[in-house]
Chain A
Amino acid sequence: MIGEHLPVLVVVVPLITALLIPLLTRAWRGTGWGLVSASLAFSAFGAIQLLVEVLRTGVPARYSMGDWPIPAGIEYVVDELNGMVLVMIAVAGTLAALWMHQSVKREVLARARRSYYTVFLLFAAGLMGITITGDVFNLYVFLEIASITSYVLIAMGKRKQALYAGFAYLILGSLGATFILLGIGHLYMATGSLAMLDIAERMANDPALYSSSVVRTSFAFFTVGFAIKMALFPLHAWQPNAYTQAPSGATIFIAATATKVSAYGFYRILFTVFGPRFLLDELPQIKEAILLMCVAAIVVGPLLAIRQKDLKRLLAYSSVGQIGYIMLGVVLWSADQTHLDGATGGLMHFWNHAVAKGALFCVAGALVYKTGAARVADLAGMGRHAPWTSAVMTVAGLSMIGVPLTAGFWSKFYLCTGALEVGRPAAIVVLLVSSLLTAVYVWRLLSLVWFAPKDAEVKVDGEVPWSMRLPALVLGAACLYLFFQPIHLDIARAAAEGFMK
């Protein structure tokens, strides 16, 4: 019986637990992190089960709220694409919640801790809601739940700059969300429906809709709105400050999932709602424009990262570049819809980047835990005193570059073959240049960690507690495991085939 309701439970359990935390932690002190990780572990379990089921049957799992069929009701749909994103969010959330148990005591004010866990779990529920819903307006509501809570999470950072970082994101994030709301309004105006699959059907049955200026305006609003939310260059201005100032536990989760969920939203709106033909036949110039933005992000992100003195800020700029890889999947496919390597690579990068960036932010968090700040210079000599943490950093760093034997290799490999398939060899050059730039900043970190001079002052003089080491090790091991067992390859390919139909 529970299995039947799994799609909604995955979102509702964290949502309700979040509201219970202020009550329960009053009775049982200090259990906030336990409640967060338990409810997210439940979601992870449910999400994995849903994904396995979808892969086995090849049919999306659909759940109608209150048994109201679409278009009257709200529908939750799980297919390969969002099943993959859902698992990513729930697993990253669980690990981040386990990780932050110790660090919250040092990074969040005592009186704010209880609400910190509530907000964190609400944020996770919002992200999962965005992912699982099959209704465009429901997507907006969950987007706002996730946005408002992320503003609060960021502003809860210990330094006072966190307040302004949160506020700046609030202004830009609200602008982005308002644009998405306008996009939904125009879409509703043209099609008279809010359910994604229903809109898609109406678009397919009425070719006049594709050339309608209302539909095009709607697409423009969606593109700009999601581009702000996913920090696609040059709309990334809010992101580095937000990642730097947020409490480390929140940064791990936000960096591993938040911008990717917005990228997923764009994939979903473009491929499921508008359909791939829309971009190809009606707006080929927009496809070129997105490609240009991706290329700019891929080159400028690591370029800006190289000079940073703050580890969290360095990793934030590297995320600006990495989101470009994910968005390359949106443009690297061809008209006959058989060349899917580019899209596959972009989708695989959801997991590859989540594990690598999650692991790296765990290391940054460990640095903050030990020294109180995330200065790159303080990494010197860490390898001798904290070998586990340093090993995680090495593996995850290599995965960011895309070195073989790490997961990051696969996304670059498939993006490269995808670029060849659609006749854009120039994209390969861009990918290689970006890998080189990434190698520069990763090398700068690793040389400090392992090859610091013997007499250098060592700030990180020991390992962090096991509760922080373990999640980092799991993420680091996943970087290796996903190279040898690329389970996400089949899922990504099935997802790409799904939306190219």
Chain B
Amino acid sequence: MTCASLLDWLPSHWHYLVYIVLMMIGLYAVLAKGNLVKKVIGLNILQTAVFLFYLSIGHIDGATVPVKWHDDAVYENPIPHVLMLTAIVVGVSVTAVALALIVRIKETYGTVEEIEVLDIDERETAEQEGDAPA
């Protein structure tokens, strides 16, 4: 894409940049952070980026809420909003399960750092397999 066409593209499509940047922040946190809570936060940022993406594809400039006021009004597309209501519920459930698991992990391992959890797991697996005749 040339510089000039980018300048044409930007004013009408800048919201896609917002969604891509947010998504990359979320993805980075999920993959690179060692703290389990931070991973969950990253997952939430990632999901929020997807919500914004959906809402922006349903947007029409100068449109109003999709409630029938008068016949000549232009309405936003309500379907992406409805879809995202469901997706938000899903996001909340995933977060709830993730946090519940983190609480249990903290209780049993005494840490929420991924590396330490893996270390403990590895040591114990080695011990268990050491007992068993190969």
Contact present for A141 and B50 (CB under 8 Å): no
Contact present for B101 and A375 (CB under 8 Å): no
Contact present for A155 and B132 (CB under 8 Å): no
Query: In the complex, which residue of chain A has the Cβ closest to the Cβ of B53?
Result: A185
Chain B residues with Cβ under 8 A from A166's Cβ? 101
Q: Is A144 an interface residue (CB 8 A)?
A: yes
Give residues 373-399 of A contacting B (CB, 8 Å): 373, 375, 377-378
Which stretch in B2-10, B64-72, B83-91 binds the other chain? B83-91
Contact present for A170 and B53 (CB under 8 Å): no
For residue A389, give the distance in angstroms from its CB to the closest CB of chain B: 20
> Are A309 and B129 also in contact (CB < 8 A) when A163-B105, A178-B50, A185-B57 are?
yes
Q: Is A171 an interface residue (CB 8 A)?
A: yes
Contact present for A148 and B93 (CB under 8 Å): yes
Chain A residues with Cβ under 8 A from B104's Cβ? 155, 163
Chain B residues with Cβ under 8 A from A41's Cβ? none
Contact present for B57 and A178 (CB under 8 Å): no
Interface of A: prevailing SS: helix
Chain A residues with Cβ under 8 A from B109's Cβ? 160, 163-164
User: What's the tally of chain A residues with a CB closer than 8 Å to chain B?
Assistant: 30
Contact present for B132 and A309 (CB under 8 Å): yes
Give residues 13-69 of B contacting A (CB, 8 Å): 27, 30, 36, 39, 43, 46-47, 50, 53-54, 57
What interface size band does chain B fall in? 35 or more
Chain A residues with Cβ under 8 A from B36's Cβ? 167
For residue A240, give the distance in angstroms from its CB to the closest CB of chain B: 12
Within the assembled complex, what's the spacing in Å between the Cα atoms of A155 and B104?
10
Q: Is A174 an interface residue (CB 8 A)?
A: yes
Interface of B: prevailing SS: helix
What's the count of A-B pairs with C-beta under 8 Å? 80
Chain B residues with Cβ under 8 A from A170's Cβ? 94, 97-98, 101
Contact present for B57 and A188 (CB under 8 Å): yes
Within the assembled complex, what's the spacing in Å between the Cα atoms of A189 and B90?
21
Q: Is A152 an interface residue (CB 8 A)?
A: yes
Within the assembled complex, what's the spacing in Å between the Cα atoms of A151 and B27?
20
Contact present for A188 and B133 (CB under 8 Å): no
Contact present for A164 and B105 (CB under 8 Å): yes
Q: Is A124 an interface residue (CB 8 A)?
A: no
> Are A167 and B105 also in contact (CB < 8 A) when A174-B94, A178-B50 are?
yes
Contact present for A171 and B57 (CB under 8 Å): no
Contact present for A377 and B132 (CB under 8 Å): yes
Quick one: which of B39, B47, B124, B133 contacts A178, CB cutoff 8 A?
Answer: B47
Q: Is A137 an interface residue (CB 8 A)?
A: yes
Q: Is A161 an interface residue (CB 8 A)?
A: yes
Give residues 118-160 of A contacting B (CB, 8 Å): 137, 140-141, 144, 148, 151-152, 155, 160
For residue B24, give the distance in angstroms from its CB to the closest CB of chain A: 13
Query: In the complex, which residue of chain A has the Cβ closest to the Cβ of B98?
Result: A170
Query: In the complex, which residue of chain B has the Cβ closest to the Cβ of A168?
Result: B114
For residue B112, give the distance in angstroms from its CB to the closest CB of chain A: 10
- A sample of 22 cross-chain residue pairs with beta-carbon separation below 8 angstroms, ordered by A number, consists of A141-B90, A148-B90, A148-B97, A151-B101, A155-B101, A155-B104, A161-B121, A161-B125, A163-B105, A164-B105, A164-B109, A164-B117, A171-B43, A171-B98, A174-B43, A174-B94, A175-B30, A178-B46, A185-B80, A188-B80, A375-B129, A375-B132
A: residues with CB less than 8 A from B are: 137, 140-141, 144, 148, 151-152, 155, 160-161, 163-164, 166-167, 170-171, 174-175, 178, 181-182, 185, 188-189, 194, 309, 373, 375, 377-378
